[in-house]
């Protein structure tokens, strides 16, 4: 077995986060930031995992984890979903006790709402499968990544694994799954990272609490969220960026009302709008993490500068139609 390198994209949720957990649709876009996984065989039966961007490494032997670099608890937390995914691949292999080196290098900010964990797991799953010469389909990768995502987030919608696996733009709904959206136009985005890591699980629980406490308030909000997504689909088809921006602003207002925005996000959203963005909203779970701003090409620089001035780390993102893929091997 020779070394195999694979990669999978990050994502932004354009519309519908949080409400998607309760059956409403969401629009998700794969972006050109990727996580990379390199897999090689070992002479022993250890599973060695190293994350170069997190400065964590350790190995599993006889299901016992031993740390080599970084904090033990953090490494266990970050590596558990990866270990689960690898175990599921190996369960289909004739020799489940082989040893592997897994090297992870991600360009996706962690705990920022960009699907970092799903991107890593999809890349690792594909690399392990390819390295073992197994016929693992994208549907298999999605199922495995979804199981691993539940370890990370508790209540998981399946959005992140789906977009990491298939790329492009997807309309996602829990009861009907995902449907590719034809988006030929560029969707020029500036992503602003607050630099504040947050727990998706905590933010999802916060929304669940609001739903249970105020069901008669929450239910109309879900219908509003659904209508926003439906109108956004039309705007995407017609390349109507002005309407997309307005809908993003309304969607952000709903999320703010549910308590999942915070001061760090509000600074960046407001700054982006003042600098000429057509619309801006948080993306992902909220409570820190990232926001996105839609802007015409000539305004991308000004919006980026405004986000940076307010303490965010901006980068311009492009849509990518490629999901998980083998880079080498």
Tell me how far apart the alpha carbons of residues 98 and 102 are, in angstroms, rounded to a whole number: 13
3-class secondary structure per residue, 58-123: EEEECCEEEEEECCHHHHHHHHHHHHHHHHHHHCCCCCCCCEEEEEEEECCCCCCCCCHHHHHHHH
Catalytic residue selected from 160, 234, 242, 321: 160
**Torsion 17-19-23-27 (CA) sign:** negative
262 belongs to the catalytic site:
no
Helix residue ranges per DSSP H, the chain: 72-90, 116-131, 138-153, 159-166, 200-213, 215-237, 241-257, 263-274, 300-309
Tell me how far apart the alpha carbons of residues 100 and 181 are, in angstroms, rounded to a whole number: 37
Strand partners, 83: none
Q: Which two tokens stand for residue 103?
A: 């090297």
Tell me how far apart the alpha carbons of residues 275 and 149 are, in angstroms, rounded to a whole number: 36
Tell me how far apart the alpha carbons of residues 24 and 78 are, in angstroms, rounded to a whole number: 29
CA 62 to chain centre: 31
219 backbone dihedrals φ, ψ, rounded to 5°: -60, -45
Give, for 39, the enclosing helix (H) or strand (E): strand 26-42
Comparing CA positions, the residue from 325, 234, 316 lying closest to residue 31 is 316
Comparing CA positions, the residue from 110, 86, 109 lying closest to residue 98 is 86
Secondary structure class of 37 (helix, strand, coil): strand
Q: Which two tokens stand for residue 245?
A: 């921006």
Q: Which residues are catalytic?
A: 160
């Amino acid at each position: 077995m020779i070394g195999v390198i694979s990669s999978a994209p990050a994502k932004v949720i354009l519309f519908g986060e949080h409400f998607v957990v309760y059956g409403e649709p969401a629009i998700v876009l794969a972006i050109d930031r990727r996580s990379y996984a390199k897999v090689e065989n070992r002479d022993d039966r250890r599973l060695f995992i190293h994350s170069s961007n997190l400065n964590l490494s350790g190995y599993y032997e006889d299901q016992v984890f031993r740390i080599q670099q970084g904090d033990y608890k953090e490494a266990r937390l970050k590596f558990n979903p990866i270990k689960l995914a690898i175990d599921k691949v190996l369960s289909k292999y004739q020799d489940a006790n082989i040893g592997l080196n897994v090297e992870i290098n991600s360009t996706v900010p962690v705990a920022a709402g960009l699907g970092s964990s799903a991107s890593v797991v999809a890349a690792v799953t594909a690399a392990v499968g390819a390295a073992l010469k197994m016929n693992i389909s994208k549907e298999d990768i999605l199922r495995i990544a979804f199981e691993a995502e539940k370890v990370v987030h508790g209540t998981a919608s399946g959005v992140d694994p789906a977009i990491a696996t298939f790329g492009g733009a997807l309309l996602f709904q829990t009861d009907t799954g995902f449907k590719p959206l034809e988006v030929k136009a560029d969707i020029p985005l500036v992503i602003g990272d607050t630099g504040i890591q947050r727990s998706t699980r905590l933010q999802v629980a916060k929304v669940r609490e609001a739903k249970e406490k105020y069901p008669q308030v929450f239910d109309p909000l879900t219908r509003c969220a659904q209508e926003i997504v439906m109108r956004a689909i039309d705007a995407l088809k017609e390349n109507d960026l002005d309407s997309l921006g307005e809908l993003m602003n309304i969607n952000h207002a709903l999320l703010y009302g549910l308590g999942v925005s915070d001061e760090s996000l509000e600074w960046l959203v407001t700054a982006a709008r003042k600098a000429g963005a057509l619309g801006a909203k948080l993306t992902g779970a909220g409570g820190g993490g990232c926001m996105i701003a839609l802007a015409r090409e000539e305004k991308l620089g000004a919006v980026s500068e405004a986000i940076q001035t307010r303490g965010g780390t901006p980068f311009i993102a492009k849509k990518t139609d490629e999901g998980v893929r083998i880079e080498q091997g």
